[in-house]
Structure 1
Amino acid sequence: MKAEFERVRTHIAARIASRTAGGEQYATAISGLNLYRHAEVGGPISCMVEPAIALPVQGAKRAHFGSETYAYDRHRFLITALDLPVVLQVTEASPASPYLSAVLKLDVSVIGELMMESKLRPPDRQSVRDRGMVLGETTLALLEAFDRLVGLLDEPELIPVLAPLVQREIFYRVLRSDGGSYLWQMASIGTQSQRVGRAIEWLKANFHEPLRIEELASRVEMSPSRFHHHFRQFTSMSPLQFQKWLRLTEARRLMVTESLDAAAAAYHVGYGSPSQFTREYARQFGTPPRRDVEGLLRQAGP
């Protein structure tokens, strides 16, 4: 079994390596599937991750989420059940043996269909932690399913028919795994995670607007206290901290990609005070806006 696992892992690693030879990310022709390569240890990088299964096949990575750290590698995959702000760090990679992974976006509608069609019993509510991220064990069967999915890139004419079938298999196998309870939780109508997910979607679309907790809690059909509690449980942040993270991250993007100065970026994302923006930016990213952006531009090269 171990030898077969290594054979399949090596096979899919070669496939991903060939597809990502030109850069760090390859957006495939299969909806929801992206491939990644990192040739050196790096980070930490603050970013938003979407609901997905991240399956490394070579090297290792860590996701820092609140006070917890999730280390994943060829034997462990990462499930993210909500759009979450995390800090990612590649911990094992080299030019000769780069970090390689496949990331498949979760499809709530497909997962919901599988839950209804299968005879799997839903998990005991007491066994599910209110958390937006969890690790799972990479089995040979799951690795083989991902290998078949990535292999369809070599036969593009088959993708429309076969890719959805393989994706369903992957979701079903994860539903049956130890981490499957998180997929049940994410796809079940009316669960706390769905309500928090709806709140996150609203915050992403309206982060520049003033935040009124009572109104947002009412929007997702929760009391303010219950909403605040579950939001922090799932995201490790309060709603206000989450909004602040969204604003600062967008301001950083605007300064780097559109050459806005700090004051203009601050007003654009909803800050009324540039000095408050500067203080909170330095607290979030470890250095004032101008110095941080200059460092990012130097890293990007000419």
Structure 2
Amino acid sequence: MMNDNVFNELNEVIDRYSKYDGIHATSIDGLHCYKMSSLNVRLPVIYRPSIYVVAQGNKQVTLDKEVFQYTQGKYLAVSVDLPLIGEVIKASKDKPYLCAQIDIDMNVMSELVLKLDPKAELHHKTGKGIFVGNMDEALIDAIVRLMRLLDTPKDIPYLSSILFQEIYYRLLSGPHGASIIQTCLQGSNMHRIARIIETMKSDFAKPKSIDELAAMASMSTSSFYNQFKKVTGLSPLQYLKRLRLTKARQILLSDETNATRAAYLVGYESPSQFSREYSRLFGSPPQRDVKAIRKLTTS
């Protein structure tokens, strides 16, 4: 059993570097602090490869219909870009939800994977690009030591990269390590899917067929479809649609643009089709949905 003092220290550091509710960049590239003092609305976010370590409170994310819940003593790991719906489900002013987000640098992770010399059969296994794991003493200790560097800025350029590598190593050598290893292995099914996801994300407004994406992944159409769904929980076209609609919702929430312009920006040629699919995913038409979210977040 892990010492409560470890989480108390993690709470204290995250809270100190989170002056108000929301996500906060830190002086360490790839490390963010997140604080929420009340339950929040279900907001769509594109989660990049990262781990999310909860110090206090409770949160869940939803991928299609599958729910991943994590609290103190657990972490959420995302190894490929995924459009998720996040929701803080346990938080208060006295005990806010506190979380550290540690980005995963896949280039560094891939170098570590090569040193570990993974088994050949991992190339052919495909797992989901998201999971919830249990913290162990070695992993939480490395994370706390990384967080402590925020108090000694002069040490960050020399020690942060070492601690990131230690955290990555702890993840790779843990019970869920194979899920991340597969994503990093050149030529593995998961690595090929991850590359296609990067392509889709970088140019999500451009029309793409499954046959075109499968050819880019050097897979047959049926194999690509099956492998993609194993990794993301969605078909390729469902993923692209979810990506576009999530981006559109973010655009509408951050800008005063109208639904028609948002539709065109994310690749829809028909605003009416955009509105129908948006309503189906988020429960109400674009403008009404955004108005309701703004009312909740400002009340």
| TM-score bucket of the superposed structures, by smaller chain | over 0.9
- Cα contact 1:61–1:90 (8 A) shared by 2: yes
Match for residue 65 of structure 2?
A: 67
Contact 2:62–2:86 (CA under 8 A) maintained in structure 1:
yes
- Match for 1:200: what amino acid? I
Instruction: Output the CA distance in 1 between the equivalents of 2:115 and 2:243.
Output: 38
- C-alpha contact (below 8 Å) 2:41/2:296 kept by paired residues: no
Confirm or deny: 8 A CA contact 2:76 2:130 kept in the other structure.
yes
Deviation at 1:288, TM superposition (A): 0.7
Deviation track 1:198-219 (CA, whole Å, cap 9, x = no partner) reads: 1111111222111122111111
Partner Cα separation in structure 1 for residue 120 and residue 141 of structure 2: 26
- Determine if contact 1:45/1:88 at 8 Å carries over to the other structure: yes
TM (norm. structure 2) is: 0.93
SS in 1 for 2:260: helix
**For 1:43, what is the secondary structure of its paired residue?**
coil
Q: Aligned partners of 2:160, 2:17: CA distance in 1, in Å?
A: 17
| Cα distance between partner residues in 2 of 1:8 and 1:255 | 40
Residues 123 and 185 in structure 2, CA contact (< 8 A), matched pair in contact too = no
What are the residue-to-residue correspondences of 1:178-257 with 2, within 5 Å?
178-257=175-254
- Conservation of the 8 A alpha-carbon contact between 1:128 and 1:181: no
**Deviation of 1:22 (Å):** 2.7
| Preserved CA contact (<8 Å) 1:122 1:181 | no
Residue 84 of structure 2 corresponds to which residue in structure 1? 86
Which of these residues, 39, 54, 57, is aligned with residue 55 of structure 2?
A: 57
C-alpha distance in 2, partners of 1:225/1:129? 15
In the aligned structure 2, how far is the partner of 1:227 from the partner of 1:203?
A: 14
Q: Which structure 1 residue ranges, 5 or more long, are not aligned?
A: none
Q: Which amino acid aligns with 1:69?
A: V
The offset of 1:19, in angstroms, is 0.6
Per-residue deviation, 1:129: 5.2
Deviations 1:248-278 (A, max 9, x none): 2222233332322222222222222221111
The equivalent of 1:286 in structure 2 is: 283
Distance 2:84 2:145 in 1: 30
Trace 1:33-182 onto structure 2 (pairs within 5 A). 33-118=31-116, 121-122=118-119, 125=122, 130-182=127-179
Cα distance in 2 for partners of 1:196, 1:107 equals 17
Alpha-carbon distance, 1:131 to partner:
0.6
Number of aligned residues: 299
Q: CA deviation at 1:26?
A: 1.3
Three-state SS of the structure 2 residue aligned to 1:40 is coil
Paired AA for residue 43 in structure 2? I
- Which residue of 242, 267, 273 maps to 2:270? 273
TM-score by length of 1: 0.93
Unaligned runs of 5+ in 2: none
- Residue identity opposite 1:260 in structure 2: T
Residues 10-19 or 59-68, more deviating: 59-68
> Given residue 128 of structure 2, which amino acid in structure 1 is its aligned partner?
R
Are the equivalent residues in 2 in contact too, given 1:136–1:177 (CA < 8 A)? no
- 2-structure distance, mates of 1:250, 1:297: 17
Label 1:64 to 1:24 Cα distance change in 2 as closer, same or farther (>3 A): same
Q: Quote the Cα distance in structure 1 between the aligned partners of 2:121 and 2:220.
A: 24
Once the two structures are TM-superposed, the CA of residue 279 in structure 1 deviates from its matched residue by 0.7
Distance in 2 between residues matched to 1:256 and 1:55, nearest whole Å:
27
* CA apart distance, 1:123: 8.5
| Mean CA deviation greater in 19-28 or 147-156 | 19-28
Larger displacement relative to structure 2 (25-34 or 122-131): 122-131
- RMSD between superposed Cα atoms in Å: 2.0
The residue type equivalent to 1:61 in the other structure is: K
Residues 107 and 185 (structure 1), Cα distance of their counterparts in 2 relative to 1, 3 Å cut = same
Partner-residue secondary structure (3-state), 2:113: helix
Question: Do the aligned partners of 1:80 and 1:134 also contact (CA within 8 Å) in 2?
Answer: yes
Identity over the aligned pairs, expressed in percent? Answer: 35
Aligned-partner SS, 1:290? helix
Confirm whether residue 25 of structure 1 aligns to residue 23 of structure 2: yes
AA aligned to 2:94 is: A
Match in the other structure for 1:262: 259
Query: How big is the shift at 1:226?
Result: 0.9
